[in-house]
Amino acid sequence: MREFERKQLLERIQREGATVGASIPDEVEVQGETVALQEFVFEIKKRETVPSGERERVERAKKNLRRERLQRKQRVEDDDISYEEGERLVESVVGIDRALNALEQLGPTDLEAEAEKKKAADRKRWMNFLQQALGRDDSAGGVGASRDGHNGGRGGGGR
């Protein structure tokens, strides 16, 4: 393969939106094992959340897919392969990316932990609001005194 062809193929892997319209491969060999990738992704995606018993399996699958993606990309970058072989590798990388995107978009894996995170974020927003409203947050330039201790002519204490 010529160098400009290699660059073209690598550009396709990196392109924003490369996975748009791409399909998840029916099967892919990952770490020497054939995986029914499309079936796995659809099985997991049809649930709103990942059940606790499946979390480890999904995380392991994502990790293995990322590793396989990297190995295939490196083959395109470094190996002495034909352009046709490079195209096949790029197509498989884009398909793996599509599967990874689908798996990454799954709902929260732990509803209780997610609810706790939301509560903590709400508490933090509320505290920030109170600090600003009470003029205790200098960085926000809240109501009240400015950084230099003057109110900048914003009312209070007429002439």
In this prediction, residue 71 carries a pLDDT of 92
Phi, psi of 29 (to 5 degrees): -90, 120
pLDDT of residue 126: 92
pLDDT class of 142 with cuts at 50, 70, 90: very low
In the predicted model, is pLDDT for residue 99 greater than 60? Answer: yes
42-56 pLDDT, tens per residue? 888 777 677 677 788
Mean pLDDT of 3-24: 83
Give the mean model confidence (pLDDT) for residues 15-33. 79
